Structure 1
Amino acid sequence: MPAATLAPPARLTLQEGVARGYGAYSTLRKKIASGELPAERVGRRYVILETDLEAMVKPVVGRPTEHASVSAAIDRLVASAPRLSKEQRERLAGLLGGGAA
């Protein structure tokens, strides 16, 4: 019985990664420089495993986006805050530039 062989993972240049929609050239370079995206230098070019690019763009399940978590925190704060009197609302509006004090 012949041994099963696995194909090596696809390696892409930055230009190929951009062409396949994994991000802008400058974004990929920044992620490589910060260590967020592993890459190997071959000559003057970077090559990246396609699986690393896929992992970079795949959302993490169960972890809210920054916007969603901020919105949820605001909703919790508003729900737990006491009602303001008319005078308090007017004063707050004046402080925030939304009306006369």
Structure 2
Amino acid sequence: MEINSGIDLKTASERSGRTVRQLRSKIKTGELAAVKEGGKLYVRHEDLDALPDPKRSLEDHARKVVGGWPRLSDERTQELGRLLGPDRKPPGKPKFSAETDAAIDRIVAAAPPLSKAQREKLRQILGGDDGKPGSNRE
């Protein structure tokens, strides 16, 4: 519903690609101006359009975070290889690009050491556990 002072949050949500809850949060923090009329909140078109694109913002944030991660050391690469075992790439799937491999390396390098339980869970998720007792190498 539109009124002279703007559009209601439901319409703003549909138009902006954000949830009503996200819009309420932006209003609460002062990032988005709103007026209350008849018990409902309304925002101006101009204010809604001035918000950064949520998808673009996430991509930019991810690029900043991943870009700052250190390269994976040879030791960590070997540890990851040992944990996952040889040839653990799923059959029929394409090989990762060098860029994807580099991103994975940065993620693993920045991660804290895994506990035994976490390593076992990771093996199971990635297909490194055949379900037999003692099949998980330590």
Aligned residue in 1 for 2:61? 66
Letter in 1 for 2:48: L
Alpha-carbon separation, structure 2, partners of 1:24 and 1:82: 41
C-alpha displacement at 1:34, in angstroms? Answer: 1.8
| Alpha-carbon contact 1:10-1:50 (below 8 Å) kept | no
Q: Check 1:54–1:30 CA distance in 2 against 1; reply closer, same or farther (3 A cut).
A: same
Gaps of 5+ in 1: 1-8
Match among 8, 12, 29 for residue 7 of structure 2: 12
Please state whether the residue corresponding to 1:37 is helix, strand or coil.
coil
C-alpha displacement at 1:72, in angstroms? Answer: 0.7
Report the RMSD for the aligned CA atoms in angstroms: 3.4
Alpha-carbon separation, structure 1, partners of 2:66 and 2:15: 32
| Alpha-carbon contact 2:5-2:35 (below 8 Å) kept | no
User: What is the TM-score of this pair, normalised by structure 1?
Assistant: 0.56
Aligned residue in 2 for 1:41? 36
Alpha-carbon separation, structure 1, partners of 2:11 and 2:73: 55
Gaps of 5+ in 2: 84-112, 120-136
Q: Does 1:24 align with 2:22?
A: no
C-alpha displacement at 1:22, in angstroms? Answer: 3.8
Alpha-carbon separation, structure 1, partners of 2:16 and 2:74: 49
User: What is the TM-score of this pair, normalised by structure 2?
Assistant: 0.44
| Alpha-carbon contact 2:16-2:48 (below 8 Å) kept | no
- Any idea what the Cα deviations from partners look like across 1:27-80, whole Å, max 9, x if unmatched? 111211122211111231111111111111437x9xx72210111111xx21xx
